[in-house]
Amino acid sequence: MKNNFIVFAFVIFSIVIGCTISISQPLRISTNLWIGYSPFFYMQQKGWLKDHNIEIVNVVSLSENMQMYESGFVNAFTGTQYEFEQMQKKTPDLEPIILLDRSIGGDVIMGNRDIETLQKAQKINVYLEIDSVNKVLLDNFTELYGINLSVLHLINKDSDNSSMLEMKDEPTLIITYTPYDILLKKNGYKVVDTTKNLSFFVMDALYTDLKTREKYAEELAVLNKLISKALNHLKEDPEEYFSTVQIYFNYKDKNAFLQALTSIQWIYDDRSLPLMKQLELHHIPAHNILEPVDEF
């Protein structure tokens, strides 16, 4: 009888502990340093996520976001539609859950030669994250300006590392995005072209799979509200917003930060026909995107 009671007690204890572990497992989101992802850094600094079972994992590149998700360490990740397309091949039920921004100049091609010189170059070293939107941006750039692909020497570096490049003697291109362009400009590199001039559609969103959408429905709904709240704070008090996220970015002051914000367009609450058509054109499913909220 005593043994039976011990077994019964152990089973109950195991169930309770198991449930506790299951409940306490947070929704983990991987994100990297991009001005369009600043609401995540703002929420993190403000301490809004502590009581909502949500955890932000900071990484240095778009590729690492994908690696974190593929390894199962995180449940959702931020990225452009190009990272989404790559990961959807491995996770068919992957879909955008929250829209974030559209790049209208925030993704940049920097270099130490003008386009005419690049068109005649015999060799061009190109620093980029190969498994990311960087490669698609490069392809679009070379096609537009008729640069011979055979002269390109691709060097796989994340934007954090490539931002520290000293000025090179040989023709060099760096495919990157704000705020990593700041250090490159200080080192003498010039903006050769951007997503604004290339009329190149690049959007960012938070992506996750069916299992996560079902398991963490409550957390995702809260996150949706907090992103809206963060963007509202940015609109109402940009100085406070900047001072909160400044620790992550290299912008020298609020004005530089606000200038950088003009290189993106927030699409969190954009459900316009032109945007929906762009999503359809790029085969991005929209039926599980959470609706924007304006009450927090």
CATH homologous superfamily of 27-103+201-282: Periplasmic binding protein-like II (3.40.190.10)
**What crossing angle do the helices spanning 217-236 and 238-245 adopt, rounded to 10°?**
120
| Cβ burial 145-179 (10 Å sphere, 16+ → b, else e) | eebeeebbebbbbbbbebbebeeeeebbbbbbbbb
Q: How far is it, in rounded angstroms, from Cα 238 to Cα 272?
A: 26
Q: In this structure, which amino acid lies at residue 3?
A: N
Residue 200: per-residue pLDDT: 83
Per-residue pLDDT of 82-113, as tens digits, reads 999 999 999 999 999 999 999 999 999 999 99
Q: Look up the pTM and report it.
A: 0.87
DSSP codes, 144-189: HHT--GGGEEEEE--HHHHTTPPPPSS-EEEEEETTTHHHHHHTT-
Q: 39: cis peptide before it, omega within 30°?
A: no
Domain 107-197 has CATH 3.90.25.10: no
- Give domain limits for the chain: 27-103+201-282, 107-197
User: What's the confidence (pLDDT) of residue 252?
Assistant: 86
- What pLDDT, on a 0 to 100 scale, did the predictor assign at position 20? 45
pLDDT at 263 over 50: yes
Query: 27-103+201-282 and 107-197 share one CATH topology?
Result: yes
Q: What are phi and psi of 270, to 5 degrees?
A: -90, 115
